[in-house]
Each structure stands twice: as structure tokens, then as C-alpha cells.
Amino acid sequence: MKESASSTASSIHVNIDSPSGFHMRPAAKLVQIASQYRSDIILECNDRRANGKSLLDIIMIGIAPRTGFTVSAYGDDAQPAINAIDDFFKRFSVDEAASEMIIAE
């Protein structure tokens, strides 16, 4: 995970409000999205860092339910990468809320 001073950087803060947290399925989808970009994608949570293109790294930092974390991108396509990741997390929140309502019924 290299971050050079000449890189373009962009980041977002994400809150996982779902009681099931940021589990394997959405983490795998994030890796799939991040891997479409040349930029380095870094997740930071509780002073721990993960390569956003590595499912194992993301799972190992342990993003618990009701936790916030930062996603940053460094590289020439950092802004489009962050935009795609931001869109994913907006959909993830809606999808998780809908699935929790279905389970509760």
C-alpha cells in the first residue's frame, strides 16, 4: 500500500449501522469494486489499516456492527473509485435495512 505525495487522494467516512456489521458478503463486493480501479484503496478502522482490494485484510481489521471507518483512495483514478465505493455503501445501507425488515417479519 503505497501513498506517494504526487498521488491524488480522496476519502469518505462510512458508518455501518446494521447490527450484522460489515460481514463477508459486502466486504467481497467492496473488493470487487475497488479492484476495478488502479488507485490504492485503504480502509482505516480503530487505528488498523486494510488494503481495500484484499478480502482477508478487510475481514482482519474487524469492522464491527455500529462502527465507523474511513475509506481512502490514492492514485490517478482516486475520485471515481471513491464515488463508486460511496454509491456501494449507500446501497448497502438500504439493502441491509430491507433485509432486516424481511427477517423481522
The domain total for the chain is 1
Grid coordinates in use for 24?
463477508
Contact, 52 vs 42, CB < 8 A? yes
Q: Provide the pLDDT for residue 48.
A: 96
Task: Give CA–CA dist 71/84, Å, rounded.
Answer: 12
**Catalytic residue list:** 23
Q: What is the pLDDT of residues 18-48, one digit of tens each?
A: 777 788 999 999 999 999 999 999 999 999 9
Q: Provide the pLDDT for residue 19.
A: 79
| Residue 1 within any structural domain of the chain | no
More confident residue, 58 or 96: 58
| Residue 2 within any structural domain of the chain | no
| Residue 49 within any structural domain of the chain | yes
Q: pTM for the full model? A: 0.81
Note down the domain range covering 76.
9-100
Residue 2 has pLDDT above 80, yes or no: no
Q: Give the confidence band of 98 by pLDDT, cuts at 50, 70, 90.
A: very low
Contact, 19 vs 50, CB < 8 A? no
